[in-house]
Structure 1
């Protein structure tokens, strides 16, 4: 007997494995004590995940995201279609502002105040993520920065994974409903066929049963 494998459970398992791999790669790529490198690479990872999230959520993303679409515009789109809350959008905007500070402010240096401003914007589930990570983190500047970047990246991946799981669950439910509807239709067709092909009454029920089974078998073969 073949063991039943829940498709949602299997897909979720794959998504969790991918999540762990991506976070591991993120931490590997943000090693070292170069603050600018951590900011730039962290922002790059976050924007890449945002791009993927939009591709998953939008029916035809290429129709909306054309040419050079800036990071802030992508956040606006994500918030507008409901995959990113307004509170989360504000927090992710601050990551963009931090990156732009290095790009546009000569001599900019990261300070504790910048990280306080960023982490204090966290709300809801994002704050929970940060609080859980923060308990395990050293409190020097570079460690705090890496923690914040890792939290925001993993949180965005979590949202995308959650969205994909919900979307897939709905698809399977719809498929199951359509199969149920199809089964009802087939039963109705079968009953109509029997009414036309079989006498209303018979002294030989076994013969009627055999004819009925033969009709069903023929129908199944045509379906295959």
Structure 2
């Protein structure tokens, strides 16, 4: 029987297992400090046309979302997301358990717009008691969205511009980015995604890898001490070379 209930019911591409078997008895440093993670990071930076980016490897999507967002935000800050966003509806309150609120916006198609983000942020600061409410500091989007729609380049450019104008970080959940970039309607490249976000990740778990997500950080503010937060959130895999 062929199952269509998810895109990770199988193990991984056979070539990955072959490579793991071939290198299985090699002894390498742990926690992502090995030659395979280093080589993978360099290839990712080249593909993203982002030589100054920081690349980190985590295991799964929810862990990655929580690690990235909690590393970026102070305790009184929250993240703007579509009400259908994965962090809001399919992560068992993982982000809220870290003390950060999902600031939700109703959308017509699962996609946030620049206008919605601007209106939400402006309304926050227009409130006379704005310091009594959660401060919006990050925008979370996924591509594709939770309902399968994708962002066009012009939409991502507009969102990024609004985020820069209002001091917001833009985080793109790329658990299924591979699908989005190969969609017939897509006009984004990996380099575009890197240039038009502060941080995003390239998902492996849902696109044929055994497991693993590659976080790409382009904003200098978010690079600092990221591995501390990885470790605290359980994201620093001891046998990190498996991710590489």
TM-score interval for Structure 1 and Structure 2 normalised by the shorter chain? under 0.3
If asked which structure has higher relative contact order (CA below 8 Å, sep 6+), I would say 2
The structure whose Rg is larger is 1
Q: Normalized per residue, which structure has more strand? A: 2
TM-score by length of 2: 0.26
Structure 1 or 2: more helix by fraction: 1
What's the TM-score, normalizing by structure 1? 0.27
